[in-house]
Each structure stands twice: as structure tokens, then as C-alpha cells.
Amino acid sequence: MPDEPAQEPRAPKGGPPGSDWAAFYRSTIGREPRPLFTKGMAAVEAAGVAPGQAIEIGFGDGRETLALLEAGWRVLAIDPAPAAAEVLQSQVPAQVAGRLEIRSVRAEDANLLPFDLLYAGYSLPFLGAAAFGRFWNAARHGLRPGGILVVNFFGPRDSWAGREGMRFIDVDAVRRLFDGLDVLALDEEDQDGDSFLGPKHWHVFDVIARRPPGSTG
Ligand SMILES: C[S@@+](CC[C@H](N)C(=O)[O-])C[C@H]1O[C@@H](n2cnc3c(N)ncnc32)[C@H](O)[C@@H]1O
């Protein structure tokens, strides 16, 4: 991963459908926030976006939701795995709990609130094409002017490409998703690495994009 700082022990990044998510969370809990999240938060700060309503999709062990709460955001945290809600709930400090709403539903079925920031790290590839389309329409609709999307997608050279229920898209398809938005960063990882299930080739597009302030429609 181009600008990923070394993490010791390196936190595994993902498991394919059918994964035992509870076991995955046990293996990642205590990790640092993902590099994409850190970069996204720097972009949020540079753009002068004040903490408002954030949404996290596929929050897993909850590390990034906890960081958002700590930074003063209200967070709608969405992940269909009941184990994710349990792991996150057990870590939320009482003084910020009032700014957190957890929903154990699939992103494509969630009724998204209007939001200023959406973070989805290593979760959107787990939505199949139709589900992703439904979710993305809702996300584009809910994104407020000036708001920021921090998301990643798996590319066609990923080891898991072709797995049922997952979605892999090339860079042109990635770019099309952000039509009308300002793409602040689009980074590609295309290299061998580790995963929860052992060595794999990662082909990942990390995107940070902003809806122009003052835009309508
Ligand atoms: C590889 S984990 C990533 C977790 C965390 N974001 C991280 O970086 O460690 C993928 C997460 O996406 C969630 N997920 C799978 N399908 C989903 C869907 N349809 N909507 C929202 N989240 C989903 C899983 O439950 C899992 O927690």
C-alpha cells in the first residue's frame, strides 16, 4: 500500500463473504485507524469541514467510529453483523455515547440521514452490484454540499475478484461514481500483501471526494 505506515502487528484488512466476522474483529481490535481514514480526516480538516453528522459503513471493530466520536462528530454506524455492534458498544465511552447511533442493517437497506462525512473502509466491496447501486444513490443524495466521501473499492486484479456477492471495479468505473464531485485523492494499491485469510493480492482504490460547497441537485 503506497503510503501505509507500518503497523505492528499488521492489522488484517478483510475477509471474503462467509467470513466469521466476529473472529475477524477479534483479530483487528486494538489496531490503528486505517491509513485511508487518517488521510480522509486530514482532508476534512484541510477543507475546513467542521464535525457534524458522519456515517460509517461496515464499521467492523469500530476503530474509526470511535475516532470520529473522539473528534466531536455525531456518528451513524452501520454494519449488519451483530458482533460488530457488540464489539463497538463495549468500547464507547459514556460521555460520547449520546452522539452515536448503531444500526445492525445492511448499507443498502439503511435509511441514510443527510451527512457531512461518510467513511467506508473495506466494506463496499461486500455489496453486490444491485445492492451497491441502491446504496450509492442514497449516499449521493444524502451528501450535503461541502461534505466528504472517504471510501474504497476492490479492483479487477484483486485475488478475490469474481467471488459471488462481491463487487470489483476498474478505475474508470470508480471515476464515474464521483461525477459532479471534486476528487481530492484517488490512490491505487496493486500489490501482494496479507489478509485475515492469508496472503493475497490487494487491488484497491482509495478515494476521497467532496461535494462542492454551494452545489445544488
Ligand atoms: C473487511 S470488514 C472491514 C471492517 C472495518 N471497516 C475495518 O477496516 O476493519 C467488512 C465489514 O463490512 C461489513 N459488511 C458486509 N456487508 C455489508 C453490507 N451489505 N452493508 C454494510 N456493511 C457490510 C461486514 O460486516 C464487516 O464488518
Q: Predicted confidence band at 5 (pLDDT cuts at 50, 70, 90)?
A: very low
Asked if residue 27 is part of any domain, the answer here is no
CA–centroid distance, residue 140 to ligand 1 (Å): 20
81/88 Cα distance (integer angstroms): 11
User: Is 93 domain-assigned?
Assistant: yes
CA of 15 to the centre of ligand 1 (A): 9
Which residue's alpha carbon is nearest to atom 27 within ligand 1?
A: 60
CA distance to 39, 91, 99, 193, per residue, from 207 (Å): 10, 28, 26, 20
2 within domain boundaries: no
pLDDT surpassing 80 at residue 177: yes
Domain contains 82: yes
Mean pLDDT of the chain: 93
In this structure, is residue 114 part of a structural domain? yes
Give the tens place of pLDDT for each residue, 111-167.
999 999 999 999 999 999 999 999 999 999 999 999 999 999 999 999 999 998 999
Ligand 1 centroid to 24 CA: how many Å? 10
What is the value of pTM for the model shown? 0.94
DSSP string of 92-116? --GGGGGGEEEE-S-GGG--PPPEE
> Which atom in ligand 1 lies closest to the alpha carbon of residue 11?
9
Give the distance (Å) from ligand 1 centre to CA of residue 60.
6
Domain total in the chain: 1
- CA 124 to ligand 1 centroid distance, Å: 7
The residue type of 178 is F
Classify residue 14: in a domain, yes or no: no
- Looking at ligand 1, which atom is closest to the CA of residue 121? 6
Judge whether 178 lies within some domain: yes
Does any ligand 1 atom lie closer than 6 A to the CB of residue 121? yes
The Cα–Cα gap between 25 and 11 comes to 10
Average pLDDT over residues 24-39: 96
**How far is Cα 99 from Cα 78, in angstroms, rounded to an integer?**
14
Residue whose C-alpha is closest to residue 70's, from 81, 61, 62? 62
Does residue 134 fall inside a structural domain?
yes
Which residues form the domain of 183? 33-210
Rounded Cα–Cα distance for residues 74 and 55 (Å): 8
Identify the CATH number of the domain in which residue 70 sits.
Answer: 3.40.50.150
Ligand 1 site-directed mutation target among 37, 63, 126, most atoms within 8 Å of CB? 126
Q: 126: Cβ below 6 Å to ligand 1?
A: yes
Which amino acid residue places its CA nearest to atom 16 of ligand 1? 126
